[in-house]
Amino acid sequence: MFEILQQVIDWYLAHINYATIFILMAIESSFIPFPSEVVIPPAAYKAAQGDLNIFLVLLAGTLGAIAGALFNYFFALFLGRKIVYKLANTKLAHLMLINEGSIVKAEKYFVKHGNSSTLIGRLVPAVRQLISLPAGLARMNLSNFILYTFIGSAIWNGILCVLGYLFYQKQDVLHLYYKDVTIGLLVVGGLYVAYEVYKSFKKDKKA
Task: Tell me the pLDDT tens digit for each residue of 79-123.
Answer: 776 776 676 666 655 555 566 666 766 777 676 767 777 777 777
Q: What is the pTM of this model?
A: 0.70
Task: Tell me the pLDDT tens digit for each residue of 5-29.
Answer: 677 778 888 888 999 999 999 988 8
- Report domain extents, the chain: 2-199
Residue 23: exposed, middle, or buried by beta-carbon count in 10 A (0-12, 13-18, 19+)? middle
Task: Tell me the pLDDT tens digit for each residue of 127-172.
Answer: 677 778 778 877 888 998 898 889 888 988 988 888 887 776 665 5
Rg (CA), the chain: 17
